[in-house]
Homo-oligomer: A and B are copies of this chain.
Amino acid sequence: MSSKLTQEATAAAAAVSADRLWSTLMAMAEIGARPDGGVCRQALTVEDREARDLLIGWARGRGYGVSVDPAANLFVRRPGRRDVAPVLAGSHMDSQPAGGRFDGIYGVLAAFEALVALDEAGIETERPVDMVAWTNEEAGRFACGCTGSISWSGHAPLEDFLPVVGTDGVVLRDALEETLAAAPDVERIGLGSEVHAYIEPHIEQGPVLESKGLPIAAVTSIQGLRWFSVEVDGRAGHAGTTPMTGRKDAFQGALRAIEALNALMADDTDTVRFTVGRIEVEPNSPNTIPSLARFTVDFRHPEEAVLTALGDRVADVAAEAAAPCTVQVTQTSRMAPDAFPETMVALIEDAARSLDLGVIRLASGAFHDALFTAKACPTAMIFVPCRDGISHHPAEYAKPEDLAAGTRVLTACLVELANRI
């Protein structure tokens, strides 16, 4: 092993138990379990509250402090020798409606396992080491993703999100209140508590680590994104009687628009990410020409200049291609790309090497809560491989040994950060 890690960091990493971590992951996967092996545990639902209760029980069983802020971000504290800003690790517990057993929840339970490993190794740290579970990262129920980390970091005020209506018609404000009321004995703290540094472990959600046979990536940056909602208006008509010439078929208009956007987004370097994930037509009847088509555009790139150049052309390109149908394009989200501090990236890279774990640097294709914590404190991410790069899907899978490797790197880094005063 390299000499770069302190003895305490190395000992704590060694105390991480792959079996214990896996058993907590599998216990969580039972909450909201789907018959297809996946998980549906959307933000601020009954299942989310059940998952929180389970975690709070484990934390109290270990004697850790538990607190929650007004965004329902849940914190678990292993105190340090000094009452100073903690080092923080975690991720989110909510899943996509047809999600898997690792996205998000791995980061939360890796952080919890790090606290337990510190106990097992009998290590005291200078700073407290905290675990966090951020609220509503996925945006599957409430369209405002990363609600918890955005409001915690001050990127946008929590009040902005409170009126958002979920896919089930429930208002975010009410779902938050219900979740907070369900755990009345948890200490309430304010939003935006001071943090020394934040590390988020996560499955890669891509194929790179698996294809290279490596367990660890030190994440250098998160690509930016722009989301658009496109509405194409045409004219309904009878499928049997309306001549093809002169039709204003909204779905055919949408199809031409998407073909043109495919061409706009074509990229030999395969860096652009362009996805039409949702499409709906009206009246959606087999023998009626669609009068209206709506689709979403998810466009991502690591460079802000490219996000601007291509994203700004979406509306014109779609409108021109869909004519004679008319097109309305609304930008529903924009997140700038962000690079993590070199000191934090190097810390993870060095820790992995010291633990004899293969490591590369990688940019993140997905956004994460870390994109927003980076506004408030030094932030970094650790990726571990997932099978076939699949996530947001019941088939999502990661190997126990890879999950443990990421948790060892996390634990070592937390000790290093917590002892640097």
Residues of A at the B interface (CB closer than 8 Å) are 96-98, 139-140, 204-207, 223, 225, 227, 235-246, 249, 251-252, 255, 258-259, 262, 267, 270, 272-281, 283-291, 296, 298, 300, 364-367, 389-393
Interchain nearest-CB distance for A181 vs B (Å): 29
* Residues of chain B contacted by A389 (CB below 8 angstroms): 237-238, 241-242
Chain B residues with CB under 8 A of A276: 251-252, 290
Task: Assess whether B298 is in contact with A287, with CB atoms less than 8 Å apart.
Answer: yes
Nearest-CB residue, chain B, relative to A225: B240
* In the complex with contacts A227-B286, A286-B277, A300-B205 CB distance below 8 A: no
Q: A265 to chain B: closest CB distance in Å?
A: 8
22 contacts between A and B (CB under 8 A): A96-B285, A206-B238, A227-B286, A227-B287, A235-B390, A236-B390, A238-B365, A238-B366, A240-B365, A241-B364, A241-B365, A243-B273, A244-B270, A251-B276, A252-B262, A275-B289, A277-B281, A277-B285, A277-B287, A278-B286, A279-B281, A286-B296
Q: Of A237, A241, A291, A392, which is in contact with the most chain B CB atoms at under 10 Å from its CB? A: A241
Query: Which single member of B244, B273, B298 contacts A274 (CB below 8 Å)?
Result: B244
Q: How many copies, total?
A: 2
For A98, the chain B residues whose CB sits under 8 A away are 236, 283
In the complex, are the beta carbons of B270 and A286 less than 8 A apart?
Answer: no
Most chain B beta carbons < 10 A, residue from A223, A270, A283: A283
Known: A227-B286, A285-B140, A290-B277. A206 touches B251 (CB 8 A): no
Q: Is the CB of A392 within 8 A of B97?
A: no
In the complex the two chains form, is B206's CB within 8 Å of A241's CB?
yes
Whether A366 lies near B227 (C-beta < 8 A) is no
Asked whether, in the complex, the Cβ of A239 is within 8 Å of the Cβ of B281, the reply is: no
Given A286-B278, A286-B296, A286-B298, do A273 and B240 touch, yes or no (CB 8 Å)? yes
Nearest CB on B from A273, distance (A):
6
Question: Which residues of the other chain, B, contact A286 by a CB distance below 8 angstroms?
Answer: 227, 275, 277-278, 296, 298
> B residues within 8 A CB of A223?
240
Task: Beyond the given A98-B236, A238-B389, A240-B367, please list 16 additional residue pairs across the A-B interface where CB-CB is below 8 A.
Answer: A96-B288, A205-B240, A237-B391, A238-B391, A239-B275, A240-B365, A240-B366, A242-B273, A243-B273, A244-B267, A251-B279, A255-B259, A277-B286, A277-B288, A278-B285, A288-B393
Given contacts A281-B279, A284-B277, A284-B278, contact A241 B366 (CB under 8 A): yes
Bound-state CA distance A279–B275 (Å) is: 17
Pair A239/B298 contact, Cβ less than 8 Å: yes
User: Chain B residues near A300 (CB, 8 Å)?
Assistant: 239-240
Query: Is A97 a contact partner of B283 (Cβ separation < 8 A)?
Result: yes
Question: Distance in Å from the Cβ of A211 to the closest Cβ of chain B?
Answer: 11
CA distance A284 to B236 in the complex (A): 23
Contacts of A272 in B (CB 8 A): 244
Q: How far does the alpha carbon of A324 sit from the alpha carbon of B413 in the complex, in Å? A: 43
7 nearest A-B residue pairs (beta carbon): A241-B365, A239-B275, A206-B241, A286-B296, A205-B241, A240-B366, A240-B365
Of B97, B289, B364, B393, the contact of A237 (CB 8 Å cutoff): B393
Nearest B residue to A206, CB-CB = B241
Residue of B nearest to A281 (CB): B279
Chain B residue, CB-CB nearest to A274: B244
A97 to B366, CA, bound (A): 41
Are A392 and B277 in contact (CB-based, < 8 A)?
Answer: no
A403–B270 alpha-carbon span in the complex (Å): 61
Knowing A259-B255, A291-B393 touch, does A239 contact B273 (C-beta < 8 A)?
yes
